[in-house]
Chain A
Amino acid sequence: MKEIPEVIEVVELRQSYGDYEAVRGASFTVRRGELFALLGTNGAGKTTTLEVVEGYRPPTAGTVRVLGLDPYADGPALRRRTGVMLQEGGFFKELTVRETVDAWRRFSGRARATADVLGQVRLDTKAGTRVGQLSGGERRRLDLALAVLNDPELLFLDEPTTGMDPEARRNTWQLVRELRAAGTTVVLTTHYLEEAQQLADRVAIMDAGRITATGTVAEVLSGQRSRITFPLPFATTASDLPRLPGADLAVQGDAVSYAVARTAPALAVLHDWAGARGVELDGIEVRHASLEDVFLALAGDQRTASDDHGTVRPDHHSKAAAR
C-alpha cells in the first residue's frame, strides 16, 4: 500500500445541526506519525469536527479523507486501522474490566493480549472489578485501553485526561508519547493547554467553529511575548514601576506583569530600577509565552471581532434550542 503523507485531510468542513452551524469551514491536515492537537473552548466545535473525521456522521459540506478513505462511507474498513477514545462512551456496567476488554478483542481483527493492554494503561490491578465500580479516571483509562486494543495506525483521543488525577494524567501523557514514538499518528482534543504544549507536534486552535491558528507549538507561540512577573515590592506603588523597552505593563492587586518582546533588555532596565530604589524583586518569574496566552488572546480577538459585526456568539443555550 502506498504511504500517503497526509493521514487526515479536512477541507472546508461545515457541520450543522438544524439551524445551528457547529463547524463553519474548518480545514487542516494531519501528517503520518505526528501528534496533532485540536484546541478550543467548550462549544468551539472540536468534538463535532473529530466525530466527522471518525466517521460518526457525514459532513454537511466540505470533504474529509482519512487514510485515503471516506470515514462515513468506509466506516468498518477504516476502523480496522483507527482507535477511537470518545469524550464520553458507555460500558456494560455488569461486566468486569477484563471481560470488557475480552469482549472488545473479539471486535478487532488484530487485537493485542488483554493483560498487555491493561498493563499499558495501569489497570491490571482492577481487572476483576465491575466497570460500574470504577472511578472516573479509571473509566477513562479503560476507554484508552479499548482505543489502543487493535494497535491502531491512527488514534483519536477526545479530551483523554479529563477527570484524571495528576498522576494518571502524567501516566497517560507518557503512554501517548510511547505510542507516538512507535509511529502511531495521534489526533487529540483538549482544553488543557499544558497537555497540548507537552505532547503536540502541531496544534490547531478552534473558536466558534473556525480554525483561528495552526502550526507547530513554536510557530503558534512565535510573535507572542514573554512574561516577566513579580509581586509589587514593599513601599512601591504601580506608578513607581519603570517603563521597560517594548513592554506592556499590567498590575492586578500587587501582581505585576510585563509582556515583553525581548527579555534581556527589559530585565536590564528592571535590574537598574530596583538597584536605584533599593527594593527586592523577590518571587520574580520570567517565562516564555504559553499556548494559554495565545489562546486567550485569540479567543478575545474573536469575541471583539464578532461584537463589531453585531453578531452574537452562539452560546450553549442557542445550541440546545437548535437541536
Chain B
Amino acid sequence: MTWTRYAHGQLLLSWKVFWRNRRSTFIGFLLPVLLDLFVAAPLRDKEIGGVSAAGYVTVGFIGLALVTSFVNLLNAVVARRDDLVLKRLRGTEVPPSAVFAGQIGASGIVVLLQAVVLGTLSVGLFHAPLPADPALLLLTLVAGYLLFALLAVALSGLTPSAETSPLVATPVLMLCMFGAGVATPLSSLPSWLQGPAHALPLTPVVQALRTAWFGKSFGQESWNGGPLADLSFLHTWQSAGPALLITALWTAGVLLAARRLFRWEPRRA
C-alpha cells in the first residue's frame, strides 16, 4: 500500500514540474498538437483508404505524441541525473520502482490528454468517426507509450549530459516523424526506404492506432488506393495483432537495455 503512496507522491511531483517548465510544456504537450494542425488542416477534403485524410494524419500524430513524450522524458531524466535530483530521490525511502512509476505515470497522463485533444480535433474538425474499438486504441496507446518511455530511460544512459540530449533525441524524433507513417502512408516512401521504415518502433504503433480508431485494416494503404473494408470486432484485433506483437518485442528489448544503461548519477569528471 505504501508503494502506491510513494508512486503517487512522485507522480504529483513530476506533474507539477512538467507544467511549470516552459520547455517541457512546449515539447511534451503543445508540439504534436501544433504540428498536427499544420499538417492535417490542408488535407481536410482528401480521403485515404476510405477515411478522412486529416483524421488519418491526426491519429498518426497521436502516435507522434509518444515520441515527443520520449524527448521530454529523456531531457528530464538526463537533467535530473546531472543536477543530482535523482541521487537525492534515492536517498529517501522511496523504492526505485516507485520513482520510475511516478515519473512515467505523470508523462503518461499528459499523453492521454494529448490523445483526447487530438482525437477531439480529428472528430470535431476533420470529420473522422469516433473510435471503432476504444479498448484496442487504449491498449495500443499504453503499450506504445511504455515502449517510448523505457526507450527514454535506456537512452538516458548513453546521453552524457543535458546539453547533449538533443543530439540523441532529435534523430529519434525525426526518424519517427518522417519514417513511421505519421503524416503520410509508408507506401508513399521510395521502395528502398520502406524496409527500414517498417523497422522503426513507432511504425507498428501508428498502424495499430489507426486500425483501432477506424476499424479498417491499415498497413498497406496508399493515397491512390481504394477504400479499405470495415473489420468486425474480432478481425480488428486480429489485424492489429502482429503490430502489437512487434511493439511487445521492442518493449522487451528496450527494457533490457534500460536495465543495463540507466544511471542514477552523472559520471564524475
Contact = CB atoms under 8 A, between A and B. Distances in A.
Interface in B8-53: 8-10, 12-13, 16-17, 20-21
B16 A79 contact: no
Interface residues of B, number: 28
Interface in B238-261: none
A95 B83 contact: no
A88 B12 contact: no
For B85, B88, B268, which residue has the most chain A Cβ atoms within 10 angstroms? Answer: B88
B85 A76 contact: no
Interface in A59-114: 75-77, 79-80, 84, 86, 88-92, 94-95, 99, 103-104, 106-109
A106 B89 CA distance: 12
A106 B84 contact: no
A108 B93 contact: yes
A151 interface: no
Contact of A90 (B2, B6, B84): B84
B225 interface: no
B9 A109 contact: no
Nearest to B94: A107
Interface residues of A, number: 27
A20 B10 CA distance: 36
B237 to A, nearest CB: 39
B6 to A, nearest CB: 6
B198 interface: no
B85 A92 contact: yes
A212 B10 CA distance: 43
B5 interface: yes
A150 B90 CA distance: 15
Contacts of B127: none
A278 to B, nearest CB: 62
Name B's interface SS: helix
B88 A146 contact: yes
Contact of B92 (A92, A99, A108): A108
A106 B8 contact: yes
A94 B10 CA distance: 15
Given A90-B80, A94-B20, A106 B9 contact: yes
A264 interface: no
A56 interface: yes
A153 interface: no
B91 interface: yes
A86 B87 contact: yes
Contacts of A77: 93
A2 interface: no
B267 to A, nearest CB: 7
A291 to B, nearest CB: 28
A107 B9 CA distance: 7
B129 interface: no
B268 A323 contact: yes
Contacts of A4: none
A56 B87 CA distance: 8
B88 A76 contact: no
B95 interface: yes
Nearest to A88: B84
A80 B85 contact: no
B83 A90 contact: yes
A92 B268 contact: no
A150 B6 CA distance: 14
B90 A56 contact: yes
A76 B21 contact: no
Contact of B91 (A84, A91, A94, A103): A84
A94 B87 contact: no
A306 B93 CA distance: 42
Contact of A95 (B10, B17, B267): B17
B167 interface: no
B269 interface: yes
B93 A103 contact: no
A218 B141 CA distance: 67
A54 B264 CA distance: 15
Interface in A137-154: 146, 150
B87 A91 contact: no
Nearest to A54: B91
A89 B84 contact: yes
Given A94-B20, A107-B94, A320-B269, A89 B12 contact: no
Counting from the closest, the 5 A-B pairs by CB-CB distance are A106-B9, A90-B83, A89-B88, A84-B91, A90-B85
Interface of B: 2, 5-6, 8-10, 12-13, 16-17, 20-21, 80, 83-85, 87-95, 267-269
Given A103-B16, A107-B10, 9 more contacts: A75-B90, A76-B94, A84-B91, A90-B85, A91-B85, A103-B9, A107-B6, A107-B93, A109-B93
6 contacts: A56-B91, A104-B92, A106-B6, A107-B89, A109-B93, A320-B269
